[in-house]
Structure 1
Amino acid sequence: MDIVQELLQLFEKQLTENIGADRAIVFWYDAQSEERDLAEIEQALNEKGIKVWKLNDHNAFQTKVLLELEDTESSYLIYAPFAKPKDEDNFLLDILLYSGKYGEFQADEIAIMMKELRIDHLAIRPFIEEHWAFFKNKQRVAKFKKLLPNNPNANDVKQTMMAVLCDAKSIHPQELLKSVVAKKGGMSDNNEALMQMSKYLDVNLFFELIEDYFGVSPKEEHRLSHIIETIVYQHAVSHIDEGVLQVHYPCSVPNICKVFIDDWLKSDEREGLETILLELEQKWNVPQLVETHTYEAFIRCFTFPIIEQKVLDALHELLLNETVLVNEWKSILAERRKGYWYQAHFAQEYELLEKILDFYEWKIIFERDDAPKNEQEWFSLYTEKYYRIDQLYRHIYLLYRKGTNLERYEQLIERVTFWYENKYLMTLAAYTDHLLETRLSKQWNIPSVMQQRNFYQHFIRPLLEATRERIFVIISDALRYEIGMELLEEFQQRLNTEVKMIPMQATLPTYTQLGMAALLPGKITGIKEDGTIYVNDLSTKGLQNRNNILQMYEVDSIALKMEDFIQLTKDEGQEYIRGKRVVYLYHDAIDAIGDSSKTEAYTYEAVENALERLKAAVRKLTGTYEAVRIFLTSDHGFLYQTSQIEQFQKTESLKGEIYDGNRRFAIGKNLTVPAGAIKVSLDYLGIDCEAVIAKGLNRFTAGGGLRFVHGGAMPQESIIPLIEYRQIKGKGRKSEAERVNVRVASIQKVITSYRFIVPFFQEEKVSPERQPRTLRAAFYRNNERISNEVTITFDSTGEVSERQIEVVFHLLEDRYRMGEICVLRLEDVSGRTTELYAEEEFELKLYSIE
């Protein structure tokens, strides 16, 4: 009940007592008037027909005239902003007396405040009286009321005052400490928040609360820094030998300290903690200590950033020396990824070295494998395994080029590049040359492999005959196989899609005009002296000619430039494709950059751009135009070397009647075959022409850029992707992705230690049908968290033995009853919303912390 209600009750009681009276007069002598906002009270009384008259040292006679002569009908509150005078000095005593026992309002403001704040324990009143200055401010009281828990006790009141004074989110000791340290002054006892607190509260109450909660031994001086240092120390030594740090801070509840730091680093206030950790890293000489130990001593410690540097240095050296144990380091990096410093400051370096670690693993596989026995094995080895080496090298090179402060890895990048270009590519070149010399130069087609020139007949024609679906075909110039595989993996993550990869053998020589012609319906019938390829005796040069060829086989066909089309509005786009059964969309991002010596250095950046544009195009087609079936393919691939091309890789230019050609091929008649080149038969195409391609990694000395090339038979040039993308409609649609199932693998669900391990089992492999699942796990008692919180991603593609994960939990020290039940709560955070996944009961059987 507030003051207005108290006053209104007093007016009502006076009128009830004075039967027949038409009005009531109430006096209020207010010695605390300077803290009073009378305007609200006056407004509330006026609304009830009660007038407010303010008494001062000079208007007592005027007041008597008002009440007894001028206005004898209205009810009045006579407000005197001073203490009540003695009777003999009170000029209005007669009016006060005839107003009766309800004629004077005496505000018990502490009682009113306690009622307003729902504080029922009278034992708390002396504390509030002692600290009444705090409650005289409306803003402070409003915050206090918001933070104070229901049915508060004396400690709740104290902690709520602390929370208001340090601007904390709640009255929990953890939040109080975070808020205090976040203020100006940090760990100093002259901290801004502590100074503010000391104006209204004994700060010893704060220190005693925090020291008790975190199990810290009290200290006379520098109490705040001692508390923080104890907590950070306990976090650090939770995973390293205590003797390593050469300092010691005892604590009775180490798990509470560890979990507190973990949670703080996940919160919005982590910036202040980051500064503290950096300060303590220097104060405790952690960089020097790290140097005197191997990385294994710190491998499970996540407290200080210098440890991340130590781990990175160790991996860097092992990679340089090629002595790294791949599986061991994959486990180490998976563990490091959970730490704060990894994500906050070292993600670029870790990502680069993780890619190089993967690259090193594939290097071992490649060097261990035997040479392919035939062309089928050459094809399958690349499409199933070796494409990953090209993909990883592209990622590594881009990460290094785009990253910041990665110069110290220059030597490692040079070694990766040397092996990639001088071992891997040259070995693949030797395999390819051998197959060319023994068979492929005479008969390019590999039996049982999908041929690029059969694309329309094999995929498009049957769909036109069997369905009424509109078919989109995206042809991206120079989209080589490894890029297509990356695109496939991205598409597999999309809901309600079915995607599959069909590797195709491109036509040879592997260049744009021939590859584009091969993807059209009909038969390649010739090549003119100007290089124009003809299909069914029609020119394939330009969109209009390709339109004509497409419409010979399906009249409702159209060829467009992809970028032009996807930038149209829905209505504009519908005008182009209304009634069309087949829509060919041509895209040129990679070849446009790579084919020029001025821009070829940005080939890998062009690949990144192409990937984004193709993903955007598919989104637009399936969304705006409700496409059901899309094919994505390419005219040819490419070879790309980041280093300067050596002289021995340059081959004498061709001579003869050259219709078309570049650094890797020539097509025409009466062609010479210089050393380092080989003539290939075009009989498989049925055209009267000759072709000569550069062997190995060679380049002819004339025409185009040197680093980005295509036209030859290397798998990077001649194996191209065909992605069949199908959007699921109707009853088959799913509202969310199917994810792998996870279960707790503990046989005995009993906790006997404050630090314990819980095994989890991923029931299925990750696959296109089953996506990874990310769970947030923690133990709860009575809906209150009592352990650290761990986020686990279940993304294994391995066999049963590889799909179990062990997670360490730290139980907060507390008084647990023997046999008490707690719950392991698993929340699914894989999607946009958090959902409860499962709960498992565990029995607590451990000694309580006293």
Structure 2
Amino acid sequence: MKLKEIQRLLNETFQKPFLYGQKRHLVFWYDDSGEFREDIDDLQLENIRIWKVTPNNLFATKYELEKRDPDSSFLIYSQMPKPKPRENWLYDQLKMGIEFSTDKTTAIMRELGLKDNTLRDEFNYYAKFFNNRQRFAAFQSYGIEHYTPQSITIGVLSVLCKTPLNRTDEIVKQLMRESAAGIDRSWIAIERFANPDAFWKLVAITYGYSEDNPSLNDLFSFLLLTYLESTAPDLKLPEEWQCYLSSRPMNVVVLMNQFMNQVDDRKSFQKLSTTIANAIHIKTFVNKWEMKHFINADCFKDFDERIIGFLVAQLCSGMKQFDDYLTIVTSRRTLHWYPEYEEAYKAIEQAINLFRLDEQMQSFIPEASTYELLIGYANDFYRFDHYYRKFYIAYDQWNKDDYLIALRKQVEDLYCNGYMTELSAKWTLSLKSVKTDHWSIPDTPQQSHFYEEKVQPYVTKNERIFVIISDALRYEAGKELAERLDLEQRGKTELSFMQSMLPSCTSLCMPAMLPHQSIQWNKDSVSIDGRKCVGSHMREMILQRKIKESIVIRAQKLADMRKQEMRRQLQGKKVIYIYHNRVDANGDHAASETEVFQATEQAIEELLSMITKLVNNMSASAIYVTADHGYLYQRDPIKPSGKLPRESERLLEMNRRFLISREKPSTQGVITFSTKGELVNEPPLFVTVPNGSERFMTQGGGANYVHGGAMPQEIVVPVVLFRSDRHTVSEKVNVRLMSSTRKVTNMMTFLEFYQSERIERKRLPRCLNVYFIDDHGLRITNETLLLADRDAEKPIDRVYRVKFVFKDRYYDKRHTYYLILEDHDEKEKDYHERIPFTIDIPNFKRSD
């Protein structure tokens, strides 16, 4: 150390404030190597006396300090080693003074404000670490309050691992991250600037891992298997794994839980978990263990794969414990690997719903009138179509392996050969039993009356009305849209249905919803009141003939508009027709018809977004959402029935689902309706559809996605009315802690939480991260994901029991700790709730 630096440090030392009762500073400098004996007289210390101690002036020094000059500040310099207290003539003065040293360890301890000389050996142990200003600054930045050999070790290792907090958990997590990434930067730094033995000692104290030949891979296996044993205590682990089970599992559980659940660490954990699973051949044991013993275990993906395989096997073998299966799926939702297997679980859930519905309604599709079957479809049967669609949405997104292939075959068989066959037969029978050959079903709202019955009342009252017509948005999708609006939007939603025109195709059904006196079918178009109705421009002309303040606009154009442009375009308009085409645009092409279910899903999202935009930008208060027609779709290839009439030359139009002709065909296996009363064509035309869901044999195009026929999926058209109401707000359900006590007395504690309201209209699920923190904000337990999403009417069925595992550390019962209920979807916002607790756990073990 240079003389200038020594002089600076000495001046800083003498400038320190006096302690209580002091009126001067006595600074002792033991330079037993005599390194600065020639420089001592060159020091420039203002108002400071420099006194040199020798073996022969000890008494004189004492006399000088106490009698002759009791007021001056002294630098007392000695070239002798510092004597032991009993041999030190100046011990009383040294106790009242300050010891100065130029060796690195003393300088470090002085800069940290440490006077406890018993820690010198600890700092000497890490001399190589502290021989770097940047590392020392990083160490100092942790602001360690109480220095102990262990806290110094944790601080040193934290700097070397570059962790944000000086905590043992953070050190181990960083080493796991690097191991997963195939790098060892931190471990090399520990070997170079600290000592691996110190790390292993710390790990032994904190987690109970103590081996003669420790290694990081061995440690990670130890942590993961201890976590497994703690979260699935009923599993019979192999004897050779017993050495991997900690005597201090609490700290391990908290560490691994945090590592698994931190978003940035998910991939690192999964790589380590997979590596360890392969090393210990976990799959072999998972296949042997009883599933009930690991139903809540989530440290290995093999558990999810076994559970998925079990559920598929049960469903495919005809087992019907549907409630139990759904409980299993629900229990997995909050566990670590669920996002990686989410699509598989969702596909299984929809298959369960489909099979359970089939069980509930077995032989329930009656031989009834068309009206009764229509009502039955709108109330119940549509759910078959809904679950089938939802199954394939999840199935197509999964597409990772063959887990679900057998289940897909079962779903396809039930839907196509069960439900569709049954519905087709009963529906065809009801249509053929009608005495008239007119299409409209008595007492059923008709699509051709839509404007008159739904739109005209708003025009009469001089109120603005928005009408969104979504091509091929079938009834089950409209039902989902209505439910989503009811849950998510400020307002009220009503759902009804109407019977579409026949054939149920765009060219006829779209014009039917415009104001009109007559509809006429022509070979190349449809005419409204004698005017062609093809495309948006012609539709707008027809609409404006009825009401001048009206407009027709395409949904995509509306979506691209900014707020001011939208207001300018729609200003003063009373009737706004918006045409949306997502489903039919995909389904009508053979190359993309397999994507029609996903297109339906996308259509619902686009419609929700459009409604939100209309409400926010245009203050829309009433919005209708309807469709021109629905559709039929099944995944497996369809063999055409080949029922094309021989008199094909007399056909005016031919489609897989309908024929239009001037004469009534004599072909068997079809149903023919007259257009009399629906169209003004003279003589009336005939529309012929195949029985049930069969297709006519035609050239080109896809056969799986079709419409135009008379099946309920094609002709039951949803009518959704959304009325905006800013006073009606959708809110998440409330979750409250039920337990009255606010004291924790056990390292493993269970608390019960109550979901105050059931999930229903305007009441949304709430997902919470639940955990405990100390008064410094540090987490002291595992974190649990609490998904409050139950719609049970009985309060007792909306109670959740959550397990908390506390770190094995010191808890002061005089301090306040907090239970945190944090909204999972709003992590950056305020806590949902913060509940104070006291912790009084006897017989604790202290780690860091």
Q: TM-score range by the shorter chain?
A: 0.7 to 0.9
1:542 aligns with 2:535: yes
Measured against aligned partners, the alpha-carbon deviations of 1:773-797 in whole angstroms (never above 9, x if no partner) come to: 1122224454554432111111122
Please state if 1:724 is matched with 2:721.
yes
Counterpart in the other structure of 1:630: 623
Q: Deviation string for 1:367-389 (max 9, x for gaps)?
A: 25342644444223322333232
When residues 616 and 769 of structure 1 are mapped into structure 2, their CA distance, relative to the original with a 3 A threshold, is closer
Matched, 1:293 2:296: no
Shift in CA distance, 3/627, structure 1 to aligned 2, threshold 3 Å = farther
Q: 2:241 aligned with 1:244, yes or no? A: no
Say whether the 8 Å CA contact 1:711–1:717 is kept in structure 2: yes
Deviation at 1:5, TM superposition (A): 9.8
* Contact 1:760 1:804 survives alignment (8 Å): yes
Query: What CA distance in whole angstroms lies between the structure 1 residues aligned with 2:48 and 2:810?
Result: 59
Distance (whole Å) between structure 1 residues aligned to residue 813 and residue 133 of structure 2: 47
| Contact persistence 2:468–2:579 (CA under 8 A) | yes
Query: How far off is 1:494 after superposition?
Result: 3.4
> Larger deviation: 363-372 or 410-419?
363-372
Q: Does 1:770 find its partner at 2:763?
A: yes
User: How far off is 1:175 after superposition?
Assistant: 1.1
- Aligned residues of 1:182 and 1:272 also touching (Cα < 8 A): yes
- Counterpart position of 1:221: 213
> After superposition, what is the alpha-carbon deviation per residue over 1:649-708, rounded to whole angstroms, capped at 9, x for unaligned?
745366585444422223343221411111224445364523322221122233664322
User: Contact between 1:507 and 1:514, CA under 8 Å: does it hold in 2?
Assistant: yes
The 8 Å contact of residues 745 and 759 in structure 1, kept in 2 or not, is answered as yes
Aligned-residue offset at 1:235: 1.1
Q: Which residue of 1 aligns with 2:488?
A: 494
Give distance in 2, aligned partners of 1:162 and 1:320.
54
Give the match for residue 232 of structure 1. 224
Q: 2 CA distance for matches of 1:94 and 1:570? A: 79
Partner of 1:644: 637
Q: State the TM-score, normalized to the length of structure 2.
A: 0.81
State the 1:163 CA deviation: 0.7
Indicate which of 112, 117, 122 corresponds to 1:127: 122
Greater mean deviation of Cα atoms: 308-317 or 196-205: 196-205
| 1:728–1:693 Cα change, 3 Å | same
Cα distance change of structure 1 residues 496 and 301 upon mapping to structure 2, 3 Å threshold: same
- What one-letter code is carried by the residue in structure 2 that aligns with 1:163? S
The alpha-carbon distance between structure 1 residues 99 and 821, as it changes in their structure 2 partners (threshold 3 A), is closer
Deviations 1:96-118 (A, max 9, x none): 89999579998576555445435
How far, CA to CA, are the matches of 1:305 and 1:454 in structure 2? 56
Q: TM-score if structure 1 supplies the norm length?
A: 0.81
Task: Report what 1:146 is aligned to.
Answer: 141
Q: By how many angstroms is 1:226 displaced? A: 4.7
Range that drifts further, 99-108 or 398-407 = 99-108
Cα separation, 2, equivalents of 1:522 and 1:825: 62
Structure 2 counterpart of 1:329: 325
Which residue of 2 is the match for residue 809 of structure 1?
Answer: 804
User: What is the CA–CA distance in structure 2 between the aligned matches of 1:418 and 1:242, rounded to whole Å?
Assistant: 38
Q: Structure 2 vs 1, CA of residues 96 and 398 (structure 1 numbering), >3 Å: closer, same or farther?
A: closer
Question: 1:48 corresponds to which residue?
Answer: none
Q: Alpha-carbon deviation of 1:209?
A: 1.9
**Counterpart among 669, 676, 689 of residue 662 in structure 2:** 669
Corresponding residue for residue 691 of structure 2: 695
User: Which SS does the other structure have where 1:559 is aligned?
Assistant: strand
Matched ranges for 1:314-353 at <5 A: 314-343=310-339, 345-353=340-348
Q: Is the 8 A contact 2:772 2:780 kept in 1?
A: yes
Task: Out of 799-808 and 172-181, give the one that drifted further.
Answer: 799-808
- Distance in 1 (CA, whole Å) between partners of 2:46 and 2:821 is 72
CA offsets 1:787-833 (integer angstroms, 9 cap, x no match):
32111111122221532333333344456689998654322334464
In the alignment, is the contact (CA less than 8 A) between 2:642 and 2:697 conserved in 1? no
Offset, 1:232? 1.9
Q: Could you give the per-residue CA deviations for residues 419-446 of structure 1, whole angstroms, max 9, x where no partner exists?
A: 2112111111112112212238645444
Whether the aligned pair in 2 keeps the contact of 1:432 and 1:713 (CA below 8 Å) is: no
Amino acid at match of 2:303: I
Matches within 5 A, 1:28-43: none
1:40 maps to what in 2?
none
| SS at structure 2 position matched to 1:339 | coil
Look up the SS of the partner of 1:672 in the other structure: coil
Distance 1:245 1:362 in 2: 43
Name which of structure 1's ranges 685-694 and 262-271 shifts more when overlaid on structure 2: 685-694
In 2, the alpha carbon distance for the partners of 1:93 and 1:786 equals 57
* C-alpha displacement of 1:543: 2.6
Gap change, CA 1:269 and 1:605, over 3 Å in 2:
closer
Please state how far the C-alpha of 1:144 moved relative to its aligned partner.
0.9
- What is the aligned partner in structure 2 of residue 354 from structure 1? 349
Choose 834-843 or 495-504, whichever is displaced more: 834-843
State the Cα distance separating 1:586 from its structure 2 match: 1.9
Whether 1:279 and 2:267 are equivalent positions in the alignment is no
The answer to whether the aligner puts 1:592 opposite 2:588 as a matched pair is no
SS of 2:764's equivalent in the other structure is coil
Q: Which stretch shifts more, 117-126 or 754-763?
A: 117-126
The Cα offsets for residues 557-588 of structure 1, whole Å up to 9 and x where unpaired, read as 12233223433455555554332211212233
| Count of paired positions | 772
With over 3 angstroms needed to count, the CA separation of the structure-2 counterparts of 1:173 and 1:566, relative to structure 1, is: closer
**Residue 679 of structure 1 aligns with which residue?**
672
- CA deviation profile, 1:735-756 (whole Å, cap 9, x unmatched): xx41212223346677565444
Mapped contact 1:168–1:175 kept (Cα < 8 A): yes
Q: 1:637 to 1:493 in 2, by over 3 A?
A: same
Task: Give the unaligned 5+ runs of structure 2.
Answer: 16-28, 51-74, 78-99
Would you say the 8 A contact 1:349–1:406 is kept in 2? no
Q: For residues 17-44 of structure 1, give each alpha carbon's deviation from its aligned partner in whole angstroms, at most 9, with x where no partner exists.
A: xxxxxxxxxxxx9x9xxxxxxxxxxxxx
Tell me what 1:478 maps to. Answer: 472
Point out the more displaced range, 814-823 or 459-468. Answer: 814-823
Task: Measure, in 2, the Cα distance between the counterparts of 1:819 and 1:256.
Answer: 22
Distance 2:816 2:808 in 1: 16
Match of 1:403 in 2: 398
Find the aligned partners of 2:740 and 2:179 in 1 and give their Cα distance: 51
Q: 1:600 to 1:178 in 2, by over 3 A?
A: closer
One-letter amino acid of the structure 1 residue matched with residue 611 of structure 2: V
| 823, 830, 837: which one aligns with 2:832 | 837
Q: Contact 1:557–1:582 (CA<8 Å) still a contact in 2?
A: yes
Q: Cα–Cα, structure 1 residues 744 and 443, in superposed 2: closer, same or farther, change >3 Å?
A: farther
Aligned AA for 2:331? E
Whether contact under 8 Å (2:377, 2:712) holds in the other structure is yes
**Residues 696 and 714 in structure 1, CA contact (< 8 A), matched pair in contact too:** yes
Deviation at 1:529, TM superposition (A): 4.0
Q: Distance in 2 between matches of 1:488 and 1:110?
A: 73
Q: Which residue of 1 aligns with 2:515?
A: 521
Q: Which residue is 2:302 aligned to?
A: 306
Is the Cα contact below 8 Å between 1:509 and 1:712 reproduced in 2? yes
- 1:345-494 to 2 correspondences below 5 Å: 345-367=340-362, 369-371=364-366, 373-439=368-434, 442=437, 444-446=439-441, 448-469=443-464, 471-494=465-488
Provide the identity percentage.
24
**1:770 and 1:833, CA in 2 relative to 1: closer, same or farther beyond 3 A?**
farther
Unpaired runs of 5+ residues, structure 1, are 16-28, 32-81
RMSD in angstroms over aligned alpha carbons?
Answer: 3.9
Deviations 1:147-192 (A, max 9, x none): 232354443222111111222232211112222344459999xx65
Partner of 1:792: 786
- The secondary structure found in structure 2 opposite 1:169 is coil
Contact 1:740 1:762 in 2 (8 A): yes
**Structure 1 654/222 Cα, relative in aligned 2: closer, same or farther at 3 Å?**
farther
State the Cα distance separating 1:594 from its structure 2 match.
Answer: 2.8
What code does the residue aligned with 1:513 have?
S
Shift of 1:636: 0.7
